[in-house]
Structure 1
Amino acid sequence: MAGWEDVREFTLGNISRPATRTHNQIEFGPNAIRAVQGSNDDRELEPYAYVGPDRSLYLDADLTQLLCQVVATGEHSWAVHDDAGAVIGTITRLPSHRPLLRPNWRIDQPGHPAITGRTEWLTGSPGRLAAKAVTRVIAGVLDGLTGVGDEGGDQLTKSRTLEWRTSDELVMISNSSIRIMADWLDRRLAFAYALVAE
């Protein structure tokens, strides 16, 4: 299937059509990298790369046209190979030295600066971090007033958001889906991150 090179937002999973206001039934398909298509009320998750064995991705559901494969090169590192076996980049999990912080990530794509994925709370200027803190406090107060999370006293949680940056550019944002901001990023590296991080 052509077009994977231009994917801007995707998720990894087997839901081909989520429930919406106008379509209340979830539809399933094979486990795949799926790009978001359509409006909120008519949303589909179109497959662009199908998950095969041993952290591999294929262009077809029959798993005959290899797109890329992720190969472990260490305890916290992986090389991403293209269909001919050439390395197109690497992914590294950077363990935190602080017990309460989750690990960061790094993607290295030849010919481009290293991309580091860090939690949104650890990126940006002090002013930007202060603005994020104020936004979180306001959201928490509103959730308390509206009763969100009343069962058992736990608030609803969202997946961790990572901002993927070079020293001067926002390249990608990942949480429950992955949104690519930089055209130069090889999509196969973003797909591979989704495989190793799941």
Structure 2
Amino acid sequence: MAFGRRRVEEPPMETVGWADVQTFVVSSVERPVTVKRKHAVRGKPAVRVARGSRDLRILAPCAFLGTTDTQQPGLPSRPHHTLYETETRGLLCYVEPAVDSAGELRHVVRDGRGECIGTVVRVPRKRRPFKHTWRIEQPGHPEIVGRNEWASGDAKEIAGRFAAKILEEVVDNALSGGEGSDRPSKPRSLEWRAENKVVMVSEGSDKVTVRKGWVDRRLAFAFALLGDR
């Protein structure tokens, strides 16, 4: 008779639909470390959404990043700026290289048929201490502007967030030993607003949450592929 703990049965890894996802990450991790899973399991780089219980959480793919082996011939995009519906076929969308327009870097995003579905724009900073911002142009909808979370909203909201941001940086510097520390900096959070309503939020390029159904998920994916750099 065998003794010991019963082996935990892992949930299956299945591809989920991409059109209605809310929170996603771009990662190769399929099964992250949990209290019941001591080691992470990796797969293909993909856009992934969390599924299952906290103890047996999985990150199910909804679109796969291209590779040099799977890249469709003739596409202008880089493999890691190209998404497929399966690991090897079914072109979903791709992000074209940037075109500089008066300092703005404009990335056209096209669907699998080559039709333009929108543009992701990196907007250079206008003054210190602000960094660059972003804009998503989706035909038929108001433009979506992505700014630092603490610099988004009306004047009163900005003032309150700015004070909180300064205090947070003072505490972080005290804990990390100040400038020159080996402690990694946190990715900045962006609020994406259309007509002054938050439609999407992002934490660096690691985690993106879409809050309004009309936002084309492929444009949100495109921002994550480009990275907040």
- TM-score normalised by length of structure 2: 0.75
Residue aligned with 1:41, SS? coil
Residue 78 and residue 141 in structure 1: after superposition, are their counterparts in 2 closer, same or farther (change >3 A)? closer
Identical columns (%)? 37
Which whole-Å deviations, capped at 9, do the CAs of 1:106-137 have from their partners, x for residues lacking one?
A: 10000000001111121112332344345546
Q: Does 1:66 align with 2:94?
A: no
What pairs with 1:61-140 in structure 2 (closer than 5 Å)?
61-62=87-88, 64-75=89-100, 76-98=105-127, 100-133=129-162, 135-136=164-165
Question: Where do 5+ consecutive residues of structure 1 fail to align?
Answer: none
How far did 1:178 drift?
0.1
Q: Is the 8 A contact 1:172 1:181 kept in 2?
A: yes
How far did 1:38 drift?
2.8
Of the candidates 22, 25, 31, which is equivalent to residue 45 of structure 2? 31
Q: Does 1:190 align with 2:216?
A: no
Task: Between 135-144 and 97-106, report the one with greater CA deviation.
Answer: 135-144
Residue 131 and residue 113 in structure 1: after superposition, are their counterparts in 2 closer, same or farther (change >3 A)? same
Question: Where do 5+ consecutive residues of structure 2 fail to align?
Answer: 1-14, 72-77
Q: Is the 8 A contact 2:137 2:144 kept in 1?
A: yes
How far did 1:138 drift?
6.5
- d(CA) in 1 for partners of 2:98, 2:64: 23
Of the candidates 152, 164, 187, which is equivalent to residue 159 of structure 1? 187
Residue 142 and residue 122 in structure 1: after superposition, are their counterparts in 2 closer, same or farther (change >3 A)? closer
How far did 1:148 drift?
5.0
Which whole-Å deviations, capped at 9, do the CAs of 1:173-195 have from their partners, x for residues lacking one?
A: 01130000010001000011111
Residue aligned with 1:102, SS? coil
Residue aligned with 2:220, SS? helix
Specify the alignment match of 2:82 in structure 1. Answer: 56
Residue 157 and residue 28 in structure 1: after superposition, are their counterparts in 2 closer, same or farther (change >3 A)? same
Higher relative contact order (CA 8 A, sep 6+): 1
Residue aligned with 2:140, SS? coil
Task: Between 11-20 and 92-101, report the one with greater CA deviation.
Answer: 92-101
One-letter identity of the residue aligned with 2:112 = D
- d(CA) in 2 for partners of 1:136, 1:21: 33
- d(CA) in 2 for partners of 1:119, 1:129: 10
Aligned length: 195
Hey, which bits of structure 1, 4+ residues long, moved more than 3 A? 133-144, 147-157
How far did 1:97 drift?
2.7
One-letter identity of the residue aligned with 2:196 = D
Bigger-Rg structure (1/2): 2
Residue aligned with 1:6, SS? coil
One-letter identity of the residue aligned with 2:143 = A
- d(CA) in 1 for partners of 2:166, 2:120: 34
How far did 1:158 drift?
1.9
